[in-house]
Amino acid sequence: MKEQNKGGRPRKELNQKRKYQVNVKLMTGEYYFLKSLAKSAALPINDYVRQCIKSSSVMPRITPEENDLIRKLIGMANNLNQIAKKANQAGYNTIRTEYLFLADSIDDLIDTIRNDSKNNNRQQF
pLDDT tens, position by position, 41-74 = 999 999 999 999 998 877 788 888 888 888 988 8
76-87 burial: b if 16+ Cβ within 10 Å, else e: beeebeebeeeb
Dist CA 45 CA 22 (whole Å) = 13
Give the model confidence (pLDDT) of 26-40 as tens digits: 999 999 999 999 999
Closest CA to 108 of 82, 81, 83, 76: 76
Q: What are the CA-CA distances from residue 86 to residues 78, 83, 91, 103 (Å)?
A: 13, 5, 7, 15
DSSP code of residue 71: H
Confidence of residue 106 (pLDDT cuts 50, 70, 90): confident
Rounded CA gap, 34 and 25, in Å? 12
Mean pLDDT of the chain: 82
**In the chain, what are the domain boundaries?**
22-55, 64-120
Average pLDDT estimate for 74-100: 79
What is the model's pLDDT at position 15? 80
Read off the pLDDT of each residue in 17-26 and give the average, rounded to a whole number: 90
How confident is residue 125, by pLDDT bands cut at 50, 70 and 90? very low
Q: For residues 43 and 37, what is the distance between their CA atoms, to the nearest angstrom? A: 9
